[in-house]
Amino acid sequence: DGGITQSPKYLFRKEGQNVTLSCEQNLNHDAMYWYRQDPGQGLRLIYYSQIVNDFQKGDIAEGYSVSREKKESFPLTVTSAQKNPTAFYLCASRIAGYTGELFFGEGSRLTVL
């Protein structure tokens, strides 16, 4: 079945460590997105990519980095520079150049100890 796979589902990190969240899709979508969800708030865009080897910062990119070396993959690294990294992270994709529906993964919950 086509879809988006995020891993790990749960991740614990010590302060000062970088962690990488995986996002893989087999929907043949060009555009991929990373969102952060905090309690009581709407999803906030961290980074997005419309095409391989290109990506743009979203509203809250500070302390995060991404790469887009393959169409299927859009990993997110939460660096030690991110001041408040404990959150739920969602990856999504859709057809590039299209403002239609997003397809989402099930999310990754990061907790910093």
Partner 1 sequence: ILNVEQSPQSLHVQEGDSTNFTCSFPSSNFYALHWYRWETAKSPEALFVMTLNGDEKKKGRISATLNTKEGYSYLYIKGSQPEDSATYLCAFNQDSNYQLIWGAGTKLIIKP
Name the token pair of 1.
């079945």
Q: Which is nearer to partner 1, 3 or 17 (CB)?
A: 3
Prior bond to 85 cis, omega within 30? no
Closest distance between partner 1 and the C-beta of residue 2, in Å? 12
Closest distance between partner 1 and the C-beta of residue 14, in Å? 26
For residue 67, count other CB atoms closer than 10 A to its CB: 15
Closest distance between partner 1 and the C-beta of residue 44, in Å? 8
Alpha carbons 83 and 62: distance in angstroms, whole number: 9
Alpha carbons 74 and 23: distance in angstroms, whole number: 5
Task: Give contact residues for partner 1 (rule: CB under 8 A).
Answer: 4, 31, 35, 40-45, 48, 50, 58, 90, 99-107
Instruction: Report the DSSP beta bridge partners of residue 105.
Output: none
Q: Which is nearer to partner 1, 13 or 104 (CB)?
A: 104
Q: Which is nearer to partner 1, 18 or 59 (CB)?
A: 59
Q: Measured in Å, how far apart are the chain's first and last C-alpha atoms?
A: 36
Q: Which is nearer to partner 1, 84 or 99 (CB)?
A: 99
Closest distance between partner 1 and the C-beta of residue 79, in Å? 23
